[in-house]
C-alpha cells in the first residue's frame, strides 16, 4: 500500500488525462517535478508529518478527479471498454476499433477529453494548494518526496504516519 502511495504521489500529475497522450500545451503543469536529491537528515519531523498529510490529501483529490472523469465518460454514453478502444485508436493509427468509430462517438469522445482536461486543471490547482496548506512549498515537497523514495527509513516513518 505504501509503495502505491509513493508511486501515486510521484505520478500525481500523470493521472488519466496525462496518460491520454494529449498535446503538451493541453496538459496541466505538473506538481511533482524532478527534484534534487535531499539529505534525509535535513528533513525535520514536522516537515515529514506535513508531507504525509499532504500525500493523504493529494490522493483524495486524485481519486475524486478520476471518479469525475469516469462519470464524464459514462455521461457521454461510453462504457469504459468502448472509451478505451477509441482512445487506443486515437493513439495508434494501426488500431482499428470494432465497430468503427462513428462521427457521433468522435464528438462525444472529444467532449470527454475536454471535460477531463478541465477537471485535471482544477484539481492541479487544488493539489498545489493542499501542499501549501500543509506549510510546504512545492519545491520542498518535491525534495522530501525524492528523499522518501530513496530512503527506506524515511519510507517507514511516513508509512507509520499514514497508518495513524
Task: Give residue-wise pLDDT tens across range 33-73.
Answer: 344 444 565 999 999 999 999 999 999 999 999 999 999 99
pTM of the model: 0.73
Question: How crowded is the C-beta side of 131, counted as CA atoms within 13 Å?
Answer: 22
Residues 6+ apart with CB under 8 A from 46: none
Residue count (the chain): 164
Task: Give residue-wise pLDDT tens across range 117-148.
Answer: 999 999 999 999 999 999 999 999 999 999 99
The confidence score (pLDDT) of residue 41 equals 57
Contact predicate 65/108, CB 8 Å:
no
Q: Cis link prior to 99 (omega < 30° from 0)?
A: yes
Amino acid at each position: 500500500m505504501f509503495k502505491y502511495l509513493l508511486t501515486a504521489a510521484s505520478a500525481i500529475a500523470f493521472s488519466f488525462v496525462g496518460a491520454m497522450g494529449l498535446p503538451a500545451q493541453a496538459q496541466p503543469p505538473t506538481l511533482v517535478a524532478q527534484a534534487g536529491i535531499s539529505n534525509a537528515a535535513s528533513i525535520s519531523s514536522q516537515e515529514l508529518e506535513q508531507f504525509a498529510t499532504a500525500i493523504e490529501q493529494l490522493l483524495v483529490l486524485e481519486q475524486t478527479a478520476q471518479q469525475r472523469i469516469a462519470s464524464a465518460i459514462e455521461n457521454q454514453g461510453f462504457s469504459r471498454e468502448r472509451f478505451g478502444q477509441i482512445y487506443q485508436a486515437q493513439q495508434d493509427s494501426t488500431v482499428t476499433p470494432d465497430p468503427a468509430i462513428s462521427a457521433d462517438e468522435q464528438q462525444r469522445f472529444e467532449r470527454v477529453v475536454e471535460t477531463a482536461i478541465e477537471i485535471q486543471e482544477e484539481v492541479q490547482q487544488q493539489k498545489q494548494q493542499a501542499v501549501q496548506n500543509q506549510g510546504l512549498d512545492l519545491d520542498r515537497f518535491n525534495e522530501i518526496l525524492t528523499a522518501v523514495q530513496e530512503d527506506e527509513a524515511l519510507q517507514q516513518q511516513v508509512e507509520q504516519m499514514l497508518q495513524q
